Structure 1
Amino acid sequence: MDRNLKQFSAIYIGGGNTFRLLKDFKETCFTNVLKEYLAKGGIIYGGSAGAIIFGQDIRTCSHMDSNDVGLQDFHGLGLVENYSIWCHYNGENDAVINNYIFEYKNPVISLPEETALFIDDEVITVIGTKPAILFNEENKKVIQPGTLLS
Structure 2
Amino acid sequence: MGELILCGGGNAEQSDSINQYFAETINKKKPLLYIPIAGDPSFRPYQSSFEYIKSMFAPYGIIDIAMWTNLQSKTLEDLQSFSAVYISGGSAKRLINTFTPAGFDHILKQYINDGGTVYGQSAGAMIFGQKIVHLEGDEDEEVNGMDMVHPYSFYCHYNENDDAAIQNYVLKSKHSAVALSEGGALNVSDKGTSVVGDGPVYLFDGNTKFNEF
TM-score w.r.t. the length of structure 1 is 0.84
Q: How does 1:113-132 map to 2 (within 5 A)?
A: 113-121=182-190, 123-132=192-201
Q: Aligned equivalents of 2:196 and 2:138: distance in 1?
A: 26
TM-aligned CA deviation for residue 65 of structure 1: 7.3
Gapped regions of structure 1 (runs ≥ 5): 144-148
TM-aligned CA deviation for residue 135 of structure 1: 0.4
Q: Aligned equivalents of 1:63 and 1:34: distance in 2?
A: 29
Distance 1:98 1:134, change over 3 A: same
Q: Aligned equivalents of 1:32 and 1:25: distance in 2?
A: 9
Distance 1:65 1:11, change over 3 A: farther
TM-aligned CA deviation for residue 34 of structure 1: 0.5
Matched, 1:14 2:88: yes
- Whether contact under 8 Å (2:130, 2:147) holds in the other structure is yes
Matched, 1:95 2:164: yes
Q: How does 1:45-60 map to 2 (within 5 A)?
A: 45-58=119-132, 60=133
Gapped regions of structure 2 (runs ≥ 5): 1-74
Q: Aligned equivalents of 1:115 and 1:52: distance in 2?
A: 14
Helix, strand or coil: the match of 2:145?
Answer: coil
Q: Aligned equivalents of 1:54 and 1:41: distance in 2?
A: 16
Helix, strand or coil: the match of 2:85?
Answer: strand
CA root-mean-square deviation: 1.9
Distance 1:65 1:19, change over 3 A: farther
Runs of 4 or more consecutive aligned structure 1 residues displaced over 2 Å after TM superposition: 61-67
* 2:38 aligned residue: none
The structure whose Rg is larger is 2
TM-aligned CA deviation for residue 138 of structure 1: 2.5
TM-aligned CA deviation for residue 3 of structure 1: 1.4
TM-aligned CA deviation for residue 27 of structure 1: 1.1
* 2:134 aligned residue: 61
Count of residues paired in the alignment: 139
Which amino acid is the alignment partner of residue 2 of structure 1? L
Identity of aligned residues (%): 39
Q: Aligned equivalents of 2:174 and 2:131: distance in 1?
A: 10
Which amino acid is the alignment partner of residue 83 of structure 2? S
Q: Aligned equivalents of 1:8 and 1:64: distance in 2?
A: 37
* 1:86 aligned residue: 155
- Whether contact under 8 Å (1:88, 1:111) holds in the other structure is yes
TM-aligned CA deviation for residue 122 of structure 1: 5.8
TM-aligned CA deviation for residue 101 of structure 1: 0.9
